[in-house]
Amino acid sequence: MASKSASERLGLIRENLAETLNPEIIEKILNEGRNPKVYWGTATTGRPHCGYFVPAIKIAQLLAAGCDVIVLLADIHGFLDNLKAPLELVAYRAEYYRLIIKAILEAVGVSTDRLRFVLGSEYQKSAAYVMDVYKLSSLISEHDAKRAGAEIVKQTDNAPLSGLLYPILQVLDEQYLDVDVQFGGLDQRKLFIAAKEWLPKLGYRERAHIMNPMVPGLHGGKMSSSDQDSKIDLLDAPEVVTKKIKKAVAAPTVVEDNGVLSFVEFVLLPASALRGKREFIVERERDGLEPLVYTDIAQMNDDYRNDKLTPQILKPAVAAALIKLLAPIHAAFEASKEWQDINLKAYPPPPKKEKKVKNKGTRHPGAQNQTQETVLPIREGQ
């Protein structure tokens, strides 16, 4: 980090972002030679999948740019969001998230010395924090709270009150984590705008906000923990990864909403750069041709539009690169009895359904013989 100039550090921070709010805050800190303090929060609910590589790669870039990064394991948020995570599982899931996020970052070769994990429940139950929740609740309308959380809190008819508290907590996290920047996806833009407006109401300063674009999943839509076909679990076996990539939606010559190409752009290319050599290789050995070597997504998109790069050769290349990226994560999991135990506690397998024995009644064949069969007691003397 010491060898990087302020402009180089800013370039790493900005790479692949969709938008930045209050960028002057970041620029001022860098020009002063300081390390921006950044936080990213994740509600500890469903199992993290390969979509988590997208924010993790940005976190890795932030660390490489010399930022001090906090990963907020938002256990209370996870409970408040329409009760997605049962309270008794939240602690185990938070620990599972800590282990898997750290493994992702180590897989791309980035030092985690300036990375800190914080549980929301460590400070969100303090008297000062709770008092600020009350203060904001008295200043923010129901309409504004719903609007701020519209893209991130599940909207239902007759929703629980907890959904209105969710954005208030996330806004206050910026103050209580004492950061300069909050990082998230573009789906959190309304909440980030709310943070700019709400924090000054309590006399607190505005922060900068940096946003990743919404990257399509393997089926073109959002990669979801609840849709088994749309996501690849970080612990999926290589053959499962290959199978899921093979089934991914990637129409020939169509770049828009192409989850396979997007994964190269936002994960595989920047991951290779963090490991020392920015490139993505597509083998064409079976066609007797030289491999295609890409260092930027623009050339890949051009070749894909022109059908030089086809789904038939792109998908195996993506699968191979992803399997290589996942290998150290799998190795860390296999080597850690603690992680394996946490995995079972955080995401216990569903109970097996007992097979019901159908009552066939007395009219099916053989029933008569069964009813006539008796066991006679043995009498004395017989």
Confidence of residue 222 (pLDDT cuts 50, 70, 90): low
208 and 245 in a single domain? The answer is: no
205 and 270 in a single domain? The answer is: no
Helix axes 53-64, 87-107, angle to 10 degrees: 60
Q: pTM for the full model?
A: 0.83
160 and 248 in a single domain? The answer is: no
Kindly tell me the sign of the dihedral angle through the C-alpha atoms of 226, 186, 61, 258: positive
In this predicted structure, the answer to whether residue 236 has a pLDDT above a threshold of 60 is: yes
Q: State phi, psi for 4 to the nearest 5 degrees.
A: -90, 140
290 in a domain, yes or no? yes
Domain containing 89 equals 6-212
Confidence of residue 204 (pLDDT cuts 50, 70, 90): very high
65 in a domain, yes or no? yes
245 in a domain, yes or no? yes
Residue 239 token pair: 């053959």
Distance CA 323, CA 19 (A): 31
351 in a domain, yes or no? no
In this predicted structure, the answer to whether residue 267 has a pLDDT above a threshold of 50 is: yes
The number of beta carbons lying within 10 Å of the beta carbon of residue 343 is: 19
Report, as an integer, the average pLDDT of 3-19.
93
Residue 128 CA to its chain's centroid (Å): 30
Q: What is the pLDDT of residues 21-33, one digit of tens each?
A: 999 999 999 999 9
Q: What is the pLDDT of residues 334-377, one digit of tens each?
A: 999 999 999 999 998 877 776 666 665 555 555 555 544 444 44
CATH of the domain at 112: 3.40.50.620
Q: What is the mean pLDDT of the chain?
A: 87
In this predicted structure, the answer to whether residue 225 has a pLDDT above a threshold of 90 is: no
Rg from Cα positions in the chain: 26
100 and 156 in a single domain? The answer is: yes
179 and 125 in a single domain? The answer is: yes
77 and 129 in a single domain? The answer is: yes
Q: What is the pLDDT of residues 288-342, one digit of tens each?
A: 899 999 999 999 999 999 999 999 999 999 999 999 999 999 999 999 999 999 9
110 in a domain, yes or no? yes
Domain boundary among 195, 212, 229: 212
* Pair 366, 137: CB distance under 8 Å: no
Task: Count up the domains in the chain and report the number.
Answer: 2
Residue with tokens 């080597």: 335
CATH of the domain at 319: 1.10.240.10
157 and 64 in a single domain? The answer is: yes
361 in a domain, yes or no? no
Q: List CB contacts of 288: < 8 A, sequence separation 6 or more.
A: none
User: Which of 42-56, 225-239, 281-295 is the least confident region?
Assistant: 225-239
